[in-house]
Amino acid sequence: MAARQAAAWCYRGGSISAEPRINDRIRVPEVRLVGPSGEQVGIVPLAKALELAQEYDLDLVEVAANARPPVCKLMDYGKFKYESAMKAREARKNQAHTVIKEMKLRPKIDPHDYDTKKGHVVRFLKQGDKVKITIMFRGREQSRPELGYRLLQRLAEDVQDLGFVESNPKQDGRNMIMVLGPHKKKTEAMAEAREAQAARKAERSGAAPADAAEEPAEA
């Protein structure tokens, strides 16, 4: 009953805690008891619930303090806290944060540079990120905004399978800006990336035995 003793120690001094009351910290005459497997035991005196907890070598945990009577469940509280912490950690690990990448182009960009820039935009969209495209005008180019507009329109069409125009082109001082959004959600892109990485790893690990099997036996 290490979890029971640790929880009792944590509650000494009457400090406020967000954790539920367990075992001897529960101060009600009766509780609605839920068994270890989720079965409904019913309303029982607190003393009986604590007795059952000792018999099962589990903790009596108050899971719905505002109910009348409060709902308590028999569980291994230490194990429950550990598993909850691991789930929260995994959720934070897989949490998708929307990232806005930025790509800058000149209105008279040459074909090779355009293909390079487009390749970066494709990669960002595949990763589930938004892309802010900025056309930078210099000198007399500022009198030809249609050049920037056509370039942005061309780029949007080239990547339409991966993304869509989230914010239409608009002039911002010497620049023209457009925002592309990915068709895939960030979570989907992350999941696909993990699957592809696992597949590559499996392929590499299986390549050596396969190659060895093809070698002819020595006479």
Range of the domain at 71: 17-77
Specify if 109 maps to a domain: yes
Q: Is residue 172 part of a domain?
A: yes
Question: What per-residue confidence (pLDDT) applies to 98?
Answer: 65
Is 219 within a domain? no
Instruction: Between 128 and 205, name the one with better pLDDT.
Output: 128
Q: Is residue 33 part of a domain?
A: yes
The answer on 130 and 68 residing in a single domain is no
Residue 57 and residue 107 in one domain: no
Residue 148 sits in a domain whose CATH number is 3.30.110.10
Q: Stretch 14-34: mean pLDDT, rounded? A: 82
Q: Tell me, what's the pLDDT at 51?
A: 94
In this structure, the answer to whether residues 120 and 164 fall within a common structural domain is yes
- Alpha-carbon distance of 114 to 111, in angstroms, equals 5
Last residue of a domain, one of 37, 62, 77: 77
Q: Does 200 map to a domain? A: no
- What gap in Å lies between CA 81 and CA 45, rounded to an integer? 26
Question: Model pTM?
Answer: 0.48
The reported pLDDT for the residue numbered 10 is 42
Enter the tokens of residue 119: 């390749």
Task: Give the tokens for residue 189.
Answer: 């892109």
Closest CA to 59 of 90, 87, 89, 19: 19
State the total domains in the chain: 2
Integer Cα distance of 200 and 206 in angstroms: 10
**Both 107 and 155 in a single domain?**
yes
pLDDT of residue 203: 81
Tell me: pLDDT of 2 over 50: no
Q: What is the pLDDT of residue 5?
A: 46
Q: Which residues pair with 139 in a beta bridge?
A: none
In a domain, 11, yes or no: no
Q: Is residue 82 part of a domain?
A: no
Residue 51: CATH number of its domain: 3.10.20.80
Verify that 105 and 172 share a domain, yes or no.
yes
Residue 181's pLDDT band, with cuts at 50, 70 and 90, is: very high
Instruction: Examine residue 22 and state whether it is found in any structural domain, yes or no.
Output: yes
pLDDT digits (tens, 9 = 90+) for 90-142: 877 666 566 789 999 999 999 999 999 999 999 999 988 999 999 999 988 88
pLDDT digits (tens, 9 = 90+) for 25-82: 999 999 999 999 889 999 999 999 999 999 999 999 999 999 999 999 999 999 999 9
pLDDT at position 207, please?
56
For 176, the 3-state DSSP assignment is strand
